[in-house]
Amino acid sequence: MADERALLFPHGQLPGSLELAFVGDSVYDLYVRSALVKRGGRVNDLNRAAVARVNAHAQCESLKRILPLLSPEESAVVRRAHNARQSPTKNADPGEYHYATALEALVGYLYLTGQKQRLTQLLSLSTEMEGSIDAL
């Protein structure tokens, strides 16, 4: 894993917590949307279901489901992102927003370090859905 990081990032350092969350947000969204498409339905219904699952409250709950399963390194990523200085959106609860950012940072970390099997495992457990990141 350290070799992969050295190839992806200068001096083997990962991006900051908010940059990890920036990437993780897209990966999480793609996973949820792919799971919803597998279930089928009209696009309007799929979009409503995606919006209901990809928001601060739902992501906060997702992170709480997997917190006990995280390795020390994964927990450190979550802790740093949770404590990162940021301004929640006006409609989000600040506590939930910080947890959502922490989940996104974890997803971004696992994705960028090439830990796709672990990422898929945690996404499946956290969302209680079977999606896919294989296209990434």
* DSSP calls for the chain: -HHHHHHHSGGGPPPPHHHHHHHHHHHHHHHHHHHHHHH---HHHHHHHHHHHSSHHHHHHHHHHHGGG--HHHHHHHHHHHTS-----TTS-HHHHHHHHHHHHHHHHHHHTT-HHHHHHHHHHHHTS----TT-
Is 27 contained in some domain? yes
The pTM is what? 0.87
Q: Residue 103's domain spans which residues?
A: 2-8+17-127
Q: Over the chain, what is the mean pLDDT?
A: 87
Exactly one of 25, 29, 45, 134 is catalytic; which is it? 25
Residue 25 falls in the annotated catalytic set? yes
Is 32 contained in some domain? yes
Is 132 contained in some domain? no
Total number of domains in the chain: 1
Is 133 contained in some domain? no
pLDDT by residue (tens digit) across 2-42?
A: 445 545 677 677 889 999 999 999 999 999 999 999 889 99
